[in-house]
Amino acid sequence: MNIVKGPDDYLEEKLNRMMQAYEKDLLRLCCVYLKDTAMAEDAVQETFVKAYRNLKNFRGESSEKTWLIRIAVNVCKDMLSTAWFRNLGRMVNLDDIKIPQEMEVKSEVVDEIMRLPKKLREVVLLYYYEDMNQSEVADVLGVSIATVHRRLEKAREALRPQLEGGNRQNAR
């Protein structure tokens, strides 16, 4: 008996492969973006639902990871724009954020990054934590490469005093 797979079977296989390959990266990004693990898990789930719905339209103009990160960033932005989350966001203490252990980074650095203006924070997260190049970051955010470069420079300048101060303390 020869079983023929339909187009939906291929889409499900592709989505399952993408979930295994990128779920942790997306969860880490969403955790830092939303400052809440449960909300981040919801955002990742919504990202994969949207990806599945649009998988037939994915033209491969960017990598799968870049495409998924773009979706995840937009899902996080949508979540952050709700009135409930805007009010909650003002009440969240960065020290209370629970990020899964395998995703933890130095809390002082995260604290400083999270204090950056949103546009600078986005490029730092994508460039340094998601290890994307400037072209991929530009693609995800829908801005020019020059804009990404300027934002990274501004972010580095804003973070420099804190990071250099930390390095001096560690050197002693």
Instruction: Please check the confidence at residue 48 and state whether its pLDDT lies above 50.
Output: yes
Retrieve residue 121's tokens.
């924070």
pLDDT tens for each residue of 112-135? 887 888 889 889 888 887 888 999
Instruction: Please check the confidence at residue 100 and state whether its pLDDT lies above 70.
Output: no
Q: When comparing pLDDT for 32 and 68, which is higher?
A: 68
Instruction: Please check the confidence at residue 3 and state whether its pLDDT lies above 60.
Output: no
Instruction: Please check the confidence at residue 103 and state whether its pLDDT lies above 70.
Output: no
**Residues contacting 75, CB < 8 A, separation 6+:** 30, 43, 46, 47, 50
Cα first-last separation, the chain: 72
How many other C-beta atoms can be found within 10 angstroms of the C-beta atom of residue 46? 18
pLDDT value for 36: 82
Phi-psi label, residue 2: left if phi above 0, alpha if psi -120 to 50, beta otherwise: beta
- Alpha-helix runs per DSSP H in 35-144: 37-54, 64-80, 83-91, 107-115, 118-124, 134-141
How many other C-beta atoms can be found within 10 angstroms of the C-beta atom of residue 44? 25
pLDDT value for 140: 87
